[in-house]
A and B are shown apart, each in its own frame.
Chain A
Amino acid sequence: MKLPDLTELALRNLRESVLRNSLTTIGISVGVASLVAMLSLGTGLQQMFSRRLAKSGLFDTIFVSSRRELRGMGREEERNGPAPGESRVLDEPARQEIERLPNVLEAYPDIRFVTELRFEDKPHLTMISALPSSAKSNDAFEGMQGSFFSSDMAAEVILQKSFAEELLGKTPPLGSPEPNVAELAQPLLGKELLMVYPQRAAAPPQTAPRPNEPASPDAPVGAAYSVISREQKLKIVGISDLDVESMRGPMRAKVFLPLKLAESLHVMQQTDLREVARAASGEPVYSSISVRVKNPTQVQAVEDALKKMGFTTLSILDASRSLQQVFRVLYAFLGIFGSLALIVASIGIVNTLVMAILERRREIGIIKAIGASDGDVMWLFFAEAGAMGILGGVVGVVFGWAIGQVINFGTNIYLKHQSLPPEHFWAVPWWLVVVAVAFAFAVSLVSGLYPAVRAARLDPVQALRYE
């Protein structure tokens, strides 16, 4: 029999006992819905976590440093890799080259220095670091009072809350409750700070290279620089709520400057002492660069590319790997539980079809008498099972999606009551829709196997005698 005829007859048969077949189909859709719901939850949670991790900058960031920085530390990479003298210098062209690598979102130098900040004529010594504008979306700044830098060159500053306390002269004793950021922000936002810092400037060659410094072949012998004391006024635009101890990288500082501004100041940094010759050329040399990758899964590839370029890299990839493992296990677990309901539903299909054979025994006898082959009868039952499977699958996916929406909605109401930000932890990816319907179809075909074979094997003479 041809497929259109098969489908038509199967659907006609399904319509004949509409109640029973609908109940069976609902059974399948409940099974599919539970599968979709479970796997959507898994996918959603995974997406939520990777979103969070991406925001935290922990998993999508690679720290790049030049091997020169590792000199004398006896690290294995150094012994295996190119000699320090041959490895690349982490300067502006290198940064631009890194930024052009595939899947790299941005590469920015880590600028960090300790200097003096004056507030109401009182000096405070603190660690300052520069932030790229992309840090704005970092969830470290979620609870911030005020606003982020208006531009990358703005003479503005964001303070960490403990430094704000220090400026206001009310450092609380240890163990006291956390200060309220809003209270701290009130007297500080819009006020000005004066930063006093040492500027590095190129100078005419006067001194010979230091004896412990190997001369770079490409630097003029005797290059040097001078240090000039400078001042810069900065406006306080934000007080951040983050806890210094829980942060890493540039976030560990207590005061933040816009990146481009910090670069333009040419503040003297630790590395300048070592790269003395290069520094004199006026081109900045970075101690390290942070590379942000589009997606945490691409970290490995980018890291490999960076290593090939001759740099030393560091990322929290291992942590993200084990996290993926956890999600894989969670996924399998949710999948097994989700399919359980579908397996139960498949028994319903077997039951319905076996009942249908008993009921339609005579009909099977008739169609065999007028020329239906065993195969025709078998495919007819298969088609009925398959139709119930596909129908149940489609309804189930819609069902599962709706359940997800309702739970998402309900949970967000709860989160709102707890004054937590809303979360989207439910996602039905397109592949799940396809897989769920296909799975329902496959399960129903397997369930239809026994009834179909049994129907096909019916003896027409006996079937015709049956009233």
Chain B
Amino acid sequence: MGTVAVRSENLCRHYHMGETLIRAVDGVSLEVRAGEFVALLGSSGSGKSSMLNLIAGLDRPTSGTVVVQDRDLAKLSREELAKYRLHVVGMVFQSFNLIASMTLAENVELPLRFAEVDRGRRENLVGEALDRVGLRARKDHRPSELSGGEQQRAALARALINRPQLLLADEPTGNLDSHTGIEIMDLVREFNRQLGMTVVMVTHERALAERYAERMVFLADGKLTHELSNAPAGSLERQEHA
């Protein structure tokens, strides 16, 4: 567990809003080990989502570097960044971001289409992924016919369909009641432990972070303020697994 999955050095993301310069991320240096579960904490506007977007390759840094699985994201072309998002990263969002016109199965299948996986194999992979999140029975439903928890589980299935090493979650429980939120987080932890996926989660709920994350990184005004190691619930269980 010593290898580094994500490393940022003096990472900055500045942008202009009218006349004012916004320093969304302002010189953050951070390391996440492979297989680690890290929570990025901070109030709104602290830069935690911007940080996540930089790691996800959705945005490019103004300065500094962000290296994920030995790829310097700032140096990748647009095409290479898309490939990186497709194969290395899985993302879940607060608002689920499923495509409303597609059924669950089609939503989960979508990354496989971009990855040009054969049609025959796709069906099996989608079935497996939906099994993993317990939604096979609902595969032909559209997102609007499902509860928030079910939608987020479908989004998780979509995020892991291409077997990425890194799962990025942006307030995954923000739109869910606490009970459903715990269900989703249990799933995320399962991916982390059973599949060995590195997880970086953005949240403003400290309680949630304490319950699941191994490390809490606090951001304010785009800067890293402090870090805390944490012993999440069930960590003993984890050691047994390892």
Contacts and interface: CB of A to CB of B under 8 A. Distances in A.
Given A1-B113, A367-B110, A369-B56, A374 B78 contact: yes
Interface in B81-105: 82-83, 85-87, 91, 93, 97-99, 101-102
Max count, chain B CB within 10 A of own CB: residue among A12, A367, A370, A373: A370
Contacts of B93: 369, 464
B58 A368 contact: yes
B58 A370 contact: no
Interface in B44-98: 53, 56, 58-59, 78-79, 82-83, 85-87, 91, 93, 97-98
Contacts of B59: 461
B71 to A, nearest CB: 14
A287 B238 CA distance: 114
Interface residues of B, number: 28
Interface string A148-184: 0000000000000000000000000000000000000
B162 A371 contact: yes
A461 B78 CA distance: 14
A13 B106 CA distance: 13
Contacts of A375: 79
B99 A366 contact: yes
Contact of A372 (B56, B82, B91, B97): B82
A370 B114 contact: yes
Contacts of A9: 113
A363 interface: yes
Contacts of B98: 366
Contact of A374 (B82, B101, B102): B82
Contacts of A5: 113, 116
A176 B61 CA distance: 100
B61 to A, nearest CB: 13
A370 B85 contact: yes
A97 interface: no
B115 interface: yes
Contact of B82 (A2, A362, A371, A464): A371
A141 B91 CA distance: 85
Interface string B107-118: 000110111100
Given A374-B78, A374-B79, A367 B114 contact: yes
A371 B97 contact: no
Given A1-B114, A5-B113, A368 B56 contact: no
A369 B91 contact: yes
A376 B101 contact: no
A370 B111 contact: yes
B215 interface: no
Interface of B: 53, 56, 58-59, 78-79, 82-83, 85-87, 91, 93, 97-99, 101-102, 110-111, 113-116, 119, 158-159, 162
5 contacts: A16-B101, A369-B58, A369-B93, A371-B111, A464-B58
Given A12-B101, A376-B114, 5 more contacts: A366-B97, A367-B99, A373-B79, A376-B82, A464-B97
Q: Which 6 A-B pairs have the closest CB atoms?
A: A371-B86, A373-B82, A5-B113, A371-B85, A366-B97, A460-B58
